């Protein structure tokens, strides 16, 4: 979690009410369980890996791995922009001061300690920051409950307890968007592969899920309280993204100070993990760990410069997330098909065509729905956000995964047709659909008890070893 939650969750509360808050919180917390479910499977198939792209290289080959790596690095870049933009806006909203100095100081400090301590120091600081955040949230919650006066007549007038179109749409949009996008976050995979055992992984993920669910629900409810206490929308009317800060203006200054500390803790905990993840992904995926890591870290430092520039100009934190979400919704469904040994015939060609085809399908849908090609292109960037009041965003998140899968199977048919024709022309046997035979070592390991911890797991050298690295 980053400081952006102080904008996005209260904003959703003012638009979709209690229904939106609960859907958003559940959709953000529950997808974390996928790492506990798939982590052990991927670790067994790729015991030497520590990020998802390593398994992708083994399963689909270098081309698909580089494609996924590019999307991963782009996602990390967008998240860094969103995080710095959010903390800058938080500082300005709470203190009235320019947020740029705080952004620069945060970048310098996190860069120094992640460079010196690597990802291990990120683990340590996350634990400290996490404990601080929990304590601060408890204090802030009690204070808001004791100091805020809710006006009963505004509850009915607001309509925020009633179901609405946006709330129903989000039941589909948010789980798809957040679940698939989590796959692109290397900082999550680094933690997954660092777990000692499957049991430890389940305990860690389950605990995180509960804490995050509670935290996000409380933060989201501040949007409801702001509306019911009369401080939002205000006069003149303010955007729902600042509902939390309008509420804070009614509270004592020491509460504002506590929230400011909480926001900075959230931001640094998120930003240092993103930095470490970008270093690990770039080093492993682009340079295969052959380039000195200090050169990689220097490159990440240089990337922070445009990150800061874009963060100062970012129009909407939520829109930044949505662009990344749409890319992941198109790519991840066709990628994870390869986790099943029954779909051994799935190749990197299908993943690449499916991922790009999913985005193209969004454009086609938008052009047809709006009757204009430019608006179809704008739908890829979700310029109107989730709250346009029509079915555009909903259709985009249906078109991306469904279109991706359809394009993937179309690519499969094209590849098999080409290979079949080539086999006939050359007089060779068509073997594109033959099931690979496991090696002798793999057949012996099938009878072994799987008692080793996830961090020291054995390799799946059967089916996956036979098809690893194949794009066609």
What's the whole-number average pLDDT of the chain? 86
CB 284 within 8 A of CB 50: yes
Judged by average pLDDT, the poorest of 148-152, 155-159, 319-323, 324-328 is 319-323
What structural domains does the chain harbor? 1-313+437-472 (1.20.1730.10), 317-434 (no CATH)
Query: CB under 8 Å to 170, separation ≥6 — which residues?
Result: 12, 16, 20, 23, 24, 27, 386
Judged by average pLDDT, the poorest of 12-26, 39-53, 101-115, 344-358 is 39-53
In this prediction, residue 222 carries a pLDDT of: 93
- Mean pLDDT, range 391-401, rounded to an integer: 94
Could you give the 3-state DSSP secondary structure of residue 340?
A: coil
**pLDDT band (50, 70, 90) for residue 435:** confident
**For residue 454, pLDDT beyond 60:** no
**For residue 325, pLDDT beyond 70:** yes
* Vertex 19 angle, CA 13 and 22, to 5°: 85
pLDDT in tens, 163-193: 888 889 989 999 999 999 999 888 888 889 8
Distance between CA atoms of 322 and 8, rounded to whole angstroms? Answer: 12
What percent of the chain lies above the pLDDT cut of 70? Answer: 91
- Mean pLDDT, range 63-74, rounded to an integer: 92
**For residue 455, pLDDT beyond 80:** no
Query: What is the distance, to the nearest Å, from the Cα of residue 77 to the centroid of all Cα atoms in its chain?
Result: 12
Which own/partner contact pairs does 57-62 have at CB distance under 8 Å and 24+ positions apart?
Answer: 57/285, 57/469, 58/464, 58/468, 58/469, 59/338, 59/464, 59/467, 59/468, 60/338, 60/347, 60/348, 60/351, 60/469, 60/470, 60/471, 61/348, 61/468, 61/469, 61/470, 61/471, 62/469, 62/471
CB 25 within 8 A of CB 217: yes
Could you give the 3-state DSSP secondary structure of residue 295?
A: helix
- Where does residue 322 rank: exposed (0-12), middle (13-18), buried (19+ CB within 10 A)? buried
**pTM, full prediction:** 0.83
**pLDDT band (50, 70, 90) for residue 126:** confident
Distance between CA atoms of 107 and 80, rounded to whole angstroms? Answer: 10
């Amino acid at each position: 979690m980053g400081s952006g939650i102080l904008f996005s969750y209260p904003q959703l509360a003012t638009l979709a009410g209690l229904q939106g808050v609960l859907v958003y919180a559940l959709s953000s917390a529950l997808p974390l369980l996928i790492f506990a479910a798939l982590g052990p499977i991927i670790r067994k198939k790729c015991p030497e890996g520590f990020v998802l792209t390593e398994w992708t290289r083994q399963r689909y080959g270098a081309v698909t791995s580089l494609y996924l790596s590019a999307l991963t690095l782009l996602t990390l870049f967008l998240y860094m922009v969103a995080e710095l933009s959010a903390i800058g806006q938080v500082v300005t909203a709470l203190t009235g001061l320019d947020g740029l100095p705080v952004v620069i100081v945060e970048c310098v400090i996190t860069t120094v300690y992640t460079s010196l301590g690597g990802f291990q120091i990120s683990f340590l600081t996350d634990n400290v920051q996490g404990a601080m955040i929990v304590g601060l949230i408890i204090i802030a919650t009690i204070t808001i409950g004791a100091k805020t006066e809710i006006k009963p007549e505004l509850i009915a007038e607001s309509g925020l307890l009633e179901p609405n179109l946006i709330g129903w749409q989000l039941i589909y949009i948010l789980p798809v968007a957040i679940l698939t996008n989590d796959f692109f976050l290397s900082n999550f995979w680094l933690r997954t592969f660092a777990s000692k055992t499957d049991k430890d992984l389940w305990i860690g993920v389950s605990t995180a899920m509960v804490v995050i669910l509670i935290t996000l629900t409380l933060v989201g409810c501040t949007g409801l309280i702001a509306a019911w206490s009369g401080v939002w929308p205000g006069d003149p009317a303010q955007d729902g993204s600042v509902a939390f800060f309008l509420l804070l203006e009614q509270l004592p200054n020491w509460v504002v100070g506590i929230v400011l500390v909480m926001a900075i803790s959230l931001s640094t905990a998120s930003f240092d993990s993103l930095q470490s993840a970008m270093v690990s992904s770039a080093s492993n995926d682009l340079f295969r760990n052959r380039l000195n890591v200090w050169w990689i870290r220097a490159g990440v430092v240089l990337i922070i410069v445009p990150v800061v520039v874009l963060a100062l100009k970012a129009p909407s934190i939520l829109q930044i997330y949505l662009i990344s979400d749409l890319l992941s919704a198109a790519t991840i469904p066709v990628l994870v098909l390869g986790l099943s040994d029954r779909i051994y015939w799935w190749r990197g060609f299908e993943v690449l065509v499916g991922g790009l085809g999913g985005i193209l399908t969004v454009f086609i849908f938008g052009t047809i729905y709006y009757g204009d090609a430019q608006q179809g292109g704008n739908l890829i960037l979700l310029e109107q956000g989730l709250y346009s009041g029509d079915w555009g965003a909903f259709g985009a998140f249906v078109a991306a995964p469904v279109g991706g899968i359809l394009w993937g199977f179309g690519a499969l048919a094209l590849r098999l047709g080409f290979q079949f024709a080539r086999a006939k022309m050359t007089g060779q046997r068509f073997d594109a659909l033959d099931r690979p035979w496991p090696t002798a070592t793999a057949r012996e390991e099938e009878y072994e008890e799987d008692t080793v911890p996830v961090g020291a797991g054995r390799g799946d050298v059967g089916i996956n070893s036979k098809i690893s690295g194949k794009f066609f």
